[in-house]
Amino acid sequence: MGLTLAWLSLIVLIPLSTVFIRSAGMGWADFLAAGFSPRAVAAYTVSFGTAFAAALVNAAFGLLTAWVIVRYDFPGKRVVNALIDLPFALPTAVAGIALTAIYAGNGWVGQFFEPLGIQLAYTPVGITLALIFIGLPFIVRSVEPVLEDMSAEVEEAALSLGANPWQVFARVILPAILPSLLTGFALAFARGVGEYGSVIFIAGNMPFKSEIAPLLIITQLEQYDYAGATAISTVMLVASFTVLLFINLIQAWSRQRMNG
Amino acid sequence: MSALSFIRARHLLIAAALAFIALFLVLPLISVFFAALQKGLAAYGAAVVDPDALSAIRLTLLVAAIAVPLNIVFGVVAAWSIAKFDFPGKSLLVTFIDLPFSVSPVVAGLIFVLMFGAQGWFGTWLQDHDVQIIFAVPGIVLATIFVTFPFVARELIPLMSEQGRDDEEAALSLGASGLQTFLRVTLPNIRWGLLYGVLLCNARAMGEFGAVSVVSGHLRGITNTMPLHVEILYNEYNFVAAFAVASLLAMLALVTLVLKSIVEWRFGYHHGSARH
């Protein structure tokens, strides 16, 4: 117990506290100027916007994937199930260069969009595509256990009582999986906001356009602007902690609903 | 709705899910090997045995060899004390252990620069004593320990809580020592969960990019890990070499997935949480 707390403090808590202590030492006006400069606000917009869009896409396709894996049998199911975790196992830099190669104008996928005048890589669309890759397993692995616990009988009962499949989804399945879907969404969103390795290669990194907040932190560090880097980190940490709180609230709500 | 249209809908859903996975997961994976082998096996081999690549491989192995065992020890001790004992503030402690998962890797790197960098809290002291942590191997190890901190503990806490302490109490009451109880009772009970956590911890330790990038200083042949070496080669437009080194990391990911699946299928281990 004492050992746990000591090691935790040494590796996690004390280092993390440096960001807040440094920020507190800056004074409110300086902090606002550094943490909410127009360029920083633009970077937050890109980071939060693309992470949100990617989490939305993953909510839909992650739910579909989890549903197909839990409910249906098909050849190669085990391989598909194992592959879902690829984004957890593949180093982000590898994912980054691979996704850039695919979505660039001459890439396997990008070449079909180039003639239409649509550029995927080096735009916020590219960032979103990378974050879809990174976030998929969060949704699938959150929803999967809940779907496994749900018996198909409830759905069959609803169908036999005359509900159409869409009604069964909206009235029976969705309410049951909503807490886990929201949790997965929040996890994917939080990961996307802070993601760096898979994004920087495909992002284009143009200030005010396709520059993500983590990259701006690195840029400022390279220019020895420690105050700027610290202020932006503080904003990002507060955002992460808010998402964490949100997840805990969902889980408390879900437990209460199950018991009530 | 007729039975036939249900079957049709089922096929449609399966096809849509498989198409999504093929496009978003399989295609990037294949493209790594494709790009690595584009100029033939000789170019691939040359990129892998390049001295800078070899030193990056060595550093990556070294960092994982330090960070993973430390996280195993911490993970087991932390999960043990949380699962087997009651004390106030337990759920807060679990939240704190999880914290590194919610922190951007770049911020994870920054906090160690703020502590040990030239302008950091201990910067002057370290300079006076000629100790270099940032832009050196110790900083890379610290940042890696931080980002991989929760993996083992996170896997073991639910597992050990579920198992309770009856087995241990029985062993102790039959006269086993504390160490015997741990080695003969606790460890066999948690082995698959432990292996699962270690696999993911190791994959992340070897593949970490953002946090390590901030503290490394990118000194070629000295503080370059494999992912950082991939970035340098890529930015030099040396694509074949970049993808060749990347393919080694992709193979590591595949081996991780295979072993993880074996733990799940063969030994029926049911992984408890969606957080990584």
What pLDDT was estimated at residue A260? Answer: 58
Q: Taking CB atoms and an 8 Å limit, are B29 and A244 in contact across chains?
A: no
Q: Taking CB atoms and an 8 Å limit, are B274 and A183 in contact across chains?
A: yes
Distance CA A93, CA B233 (A): 12
What pLDDT was estimated at residue A232? Answer: 97
Q: What is the mean pLDDT of residues B20-34?
A: 96
Q: Which residues does chain A have within 8 Å of residue B82's beta carbon, measured at their own beta carbons?
A: 4
Any B CB within 8 A of A82 CB:
yes
CA-atom Rg of chain A in angstroms:
21
Amino acid at site B208: E
Q: Taking CB atoms and an 8 Å limit, are A8 and B78 in contact across chains?
A: yes
Any A CB within 8 A of B19 CB:
no
Q: Which residues does chain B have within 8 Å of residue A72's beta carbon, measured at their own beta carbons?
A: 10, 13-14
How much is the pTM?
0.93
How many residues belong to chain A? 260
pLDDT tens-digit series, residues B129-164:
888 888 899 999 999 999 999 999 999 998 998 888
What pLDDT was estimated at residue B2? Answer: 67
Q: Kindly indicate the confidence band of residue B276, based on its pLDDT and cuts at 50, 70 and 90.
A: very low
pLDDT above 90 for B237 = yes
| Token output for B232 | 């340098």
Contact A211, A43 (CB under 8 A): yes
Distance CA A183, CA A140 (A): 11
Note down pLDDT in tens along chain A; length 260 residues: 678 889 999 999 999 999 999 999 998 999 999 999 999 999 999 999 999 999 999 999 999 999 999 999 999 999 999 999 999 999 999 999 999 999 998 999 999 998 998 999 999 999 999 999 999 999 999 999 999 988 788 888 888 888 888 888 888 899 999 999 999 999 999 999 999 999 999 998 999 999 999 999 999 998 989 999 999 999 999 999 999 899 889 988 888 887 75
Q: Which residues does chain B have within 8 Å of residue A101's beta carbon, measured at their own beta carbons?
A: 31, 35, 239, 243
pLDDT tens-digit series, residues B239-270:
999 999 999 999 999 999 999 999 988 777 77
Burial of B247: CB neighbours in 10 Å, binned 0-12, 13-18, 19+:
buried
DSSP A31-53: HHHHHT-HHHHHHHHHHHHHHHH
DSSP 8-state assignment for residue A120: -
Q: What is the mean pLDDT of residues B112-127?
A: 87
What pLDDT was estimated at residue B27? Answer: 96
